[in-house]
Structure 1
Amino acid sequence: MTKETGFRHFMAAAGYSWAGFLRVFREAAFRQELGFFVAALIMLLLVGADATEFVVTTLLFLGLFSIEAMNTAVEEVIDRISPEISIVGKHAKDLGSFAVTCMIAACCLYLGFVICRHLFF
């Protein structure tokens, strides 16, 4: 298999990224996070957030989506190489879940800060 270069490489990478999006979209957690992102954007509109706050929120959620995708990848690899329950597999899955939880917390904290700033200060 020859490695693509230039524009063909870009197009191949875009195809792999699209396939990754379609795969992670099958995860209920990802769809819930996507819904949370849409709700967050609506809340920002309602409180009159500025462009910077929209950009930061979008960047935080993009981080959440990428960590969710990586967590899904870890879970799939662990399930493939270690179908039996193992402590190492459990730790890997738990760490992925913790990473997702940290990003959800970051999104919630920032969103709460922005909303409170516009409503109360």
Structure 2
Amino acid sequence: MSEHGEPGSQRRPVKIEGWRHAFAAARYSGGGLMRLWQEAAFRHEAISYGCIVVVFTAIGADATAHVGALVLFLLLIAIEALNTAIEELVDRVSPEISSMGQHAKDLGSFAVFCLLLINGIWAAYVVGSHLFGI
């Protein structure tokens, strides 16, 4: 039996503590990253971040610009992961089309859009300030 019990069972998951908990959390996070990698949107976001790093390096952006881009990218992928989780849960719980399920998916998508916009504004600001003194 796994540490979470059998699927569909009413048993509570086995509580893991100490260092084993940290390793288990890292394993779950790795699984989440592998699942997120299956999403085309995440792959596009990762490629875009790589392009931003290249552009920032080429224009001589300072460490603050790079750290800002990294923090915003991490926020973006965290929201992308939550959006993917929402979509999977809605599809599992409500496979038929429902307004509540659609609203949940739309709200998750809007959260991702907001972070994409923030990332774009930051990139435009950094590039604009280095190339045009804005």
* 1:67 and 2:84 are equivalent in the alignment: no
The aligned residue for residue 21 of structure 2 is 9
List structure 1 segments (4+ residues) > 3 angstroms apart after TM superposition. none
Separation (CA, whole Å) in 1 of partners of 2:48 and 2:64: 19
Where does structure 2 lack aligned partners over 5 or more consecutive residues? 1-12
Instruction: Select the structure with the greater relative contact order (CA < 8 A; seq sep ≥ 6).
Output: 1
* 1:40 and 2:52 are equivalent in the alignment: yes
- Secondary structure at the aligned position of 1:112 is classed as helix
* 1:49 and 2:35 are equivalent in the alignment: no
Q: What is the RMSD of the two structures over their aligned residues, measured on CA atoms?
A: 0.6
After TM superposition, the score normalised by the length of structure 1 is 0.99
After TM superposition, the score normalised by the length of structure 2 is 0.89
- Secondary structure at the aligned position of 2:97 is classed as coil
Where does structure 1 lack aligned partners over 5 or more consecutive residues? none
- Secondary structure at the aligned position of 1:11 is classed as helix
Q: Give the structure with the higher percent helix.
A: 1
Structure possessing the higher radius of gyration over alpha carbons: 2
1:2 deviates by 2.4
Post-superposition Cα deviations, 1:35-84, rounded to whole Å, max 9, x if no partner, equal 00000000100110001110010000000000000000000000000000
**2:44 is aligned with what amino acid?**
Q
- Secondary structure at the aligned position of 1:4 is classed as coil
Separation (CA, whole Å) in 2 of partners of 1:30 and 1:118: 28
The aligned residue for residue 94 of structure 1 is 106
**2:33 is aligned with what amino acid?**
F
